[in-house]
């Protein structure tokens, strides 16, 4: 079954992506400005056909792309994922006019998308959104803030979630497609630990109407969840790619590093640690593939599987990268070292698209529901 072993064609494609990431995409990433949208990198992803593939790929295909790119260039992986996260609601829930306007531009790498869900007071608790969509004639006026938004404020359009019905929890949220040039919309970048662009957005009476709605009014939470259910296993794939890169670097280092009269790899404590890290990485990979394959088959237990995959993979990647830094010693802390870069990158996935604690809550609820005990 595909979740347990890749066929030769898929394995060869993953190796090709690793090579492309290292040789073509990494130089573009290194030439970019940290914390800003790297448009040449996005354009290259479009030229390679990877962005267009976001809208035809299944979940397993998406995971293979993200894992392979992450291994060779985390910035390329993140640029790809953010385009998918911001534009997938348009692909899946948008009108014909919305799709025709934006998807060809996203696929070609000419337009940058963003997924604007989180707020200063509503991160993991997405149902607590406070961005107000006040009725205004045939449309609404958006007033409030969004925060921790990837690609903000440099995106060309945003999938924005706003409250159209007060005191209705998840049932009163609507998704809107908001171009960045709408009057009243502004933003500023935030300096974060990870190098990819993140910012805040301010909505000062931004006008939207029925032609901007994604899906149905007051059903925007469904738009958010269908998007996140697809992308959660692939966040795990991103983490697995980073873990594998750190593990491979550590294998090479410990095999060649002389210490205490021999090589590090010959110390039992080191060898056993490497074995443990490799086992955990492979277990995370298999859980990610299984969740993605379940999504592609349309199985009912996708929320639990996706949460398990993201939980195990992101926590494992943090453990592997941290251990890799320890085994490399001070050299891994120098700015520009692969592990210094991974150390900054690996922390955020444990928070975004549902923090580790939220994934545990989802898993527990789904287990009780599946057992008929909810």
Choice among 353, 357, 361, 366 that is catalytic: 353
Q: How far is CA 132 from the centre of its chain?
A: 26
* Neighbour count for residue 334 (Cβ, 10 Å): 10
For every residue of 46-57, DSSP letters joined together read HHTTHHHHTTT-
Residues 6+ positions from 202 with CB-CB distance below 8 Å: 145, 185, 186, 187
* Neighbour count for residue 233 (Cβ, 10 Å): 30
Ramachandran angles phi, psi of 174, nearest 5°: -125, 140
> What is the SS3 string spanning 75-97?
HHHHHHHHHHHHHHHHHHHCCHH
H helices, E strands: number in the chain: 12, 10
Secondary structure E strands in the chain: 113-116, 132-136, 139-150, 157-163, 173-179, 185-189, 198-209, 213-214, 258-259, 262-263
Annotated catalytic residue 361: no
The strand pair at 157-163 and 113-116 is best described as parallel
Q: How far is CA 327 from CA 124, 315, 322, 323, 369, in A?
A: 34, 19, 9, 6, 43
298: left (phi over 0), alpha (psi -120 to 50) or beta: left
Give strand pairing partners of 141.
134, 207
Two tokens, residue 269: 């404590």
Catalogue the active-site residues. 353
């Amino acid at each position: 079954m595909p979740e347990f072993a890749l066929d030769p064609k898929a394995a060869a494609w993953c190796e090709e992506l690793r090579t492309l990431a290292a040789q073509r995409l990494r130089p573009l990433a290194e030439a970019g400005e940290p914390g800003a949208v790297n448009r040449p990198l996005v354009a290259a992803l479009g030229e390679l056909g990877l962005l267009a593939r976001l809208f035809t790929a299944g979940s397993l295909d998406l995971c293979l792309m993200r894992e392979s790119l992450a291994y060779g260039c985390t910035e390329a992986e993140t640029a790809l994922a953010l385009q998918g996260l911001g534009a997938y609601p348009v692909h899946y829930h948008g009108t014909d006019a919305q799709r025709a306007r934006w998807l060809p531009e996203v696929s070609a790498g000419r337009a940058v998308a963003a997924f604007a869900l989180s707020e200063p007071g509503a991160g993991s608790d997405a149902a607590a959104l406070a961005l107000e969509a006040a009725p205004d004639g045939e449309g609404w006026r958006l007033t409030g803030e969004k925060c921790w938004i990837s690609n903000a404020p440099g995106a060309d359009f945003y999938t924005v979630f706003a409250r159209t019905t007060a005191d209705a929890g998840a049932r009163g949220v609507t998704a809107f497609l908001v171009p960045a040039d709408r009057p009243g919309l502004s933003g500023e970048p935030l300096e974060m630990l990870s190098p990819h662009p993140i910012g805040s957005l301010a909505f000062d009476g931004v006008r939207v109407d029925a032609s901007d709605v994604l899906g149905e009014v007051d059903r925007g939470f469904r738009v958010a969840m269908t998007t996140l259910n697809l992308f959660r296993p692939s966040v795990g794939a991103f983490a697995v790619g980073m873990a594998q890169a750190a593990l491979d670097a550590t294998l090479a280092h410990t095999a060649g590093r002389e210490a205490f009269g021999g090589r590090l790899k010959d110390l039992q404590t080191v060898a056993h640690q490497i074995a443990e890290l490799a086992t955990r990485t492979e277990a995370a990979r298999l859980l990610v593939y299984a969740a993605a394959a379940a999504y592609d088959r349309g199985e009912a237990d996708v929320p639990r599987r996706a949460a398990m995959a993201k939980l195990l993979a992101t926590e494992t990647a943090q453990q592997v990268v941290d251990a890799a830094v320890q085994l490399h010693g001070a050299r891994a802390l120098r700015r520009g070292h692969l592990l210094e870069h991974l150390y900054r990158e690996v922390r955020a996935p444990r928070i975004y698209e549902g923090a580790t604690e939220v994934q545990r809550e989802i898993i527990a609820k789904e287990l009780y529901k599946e057992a008929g005990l909810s």
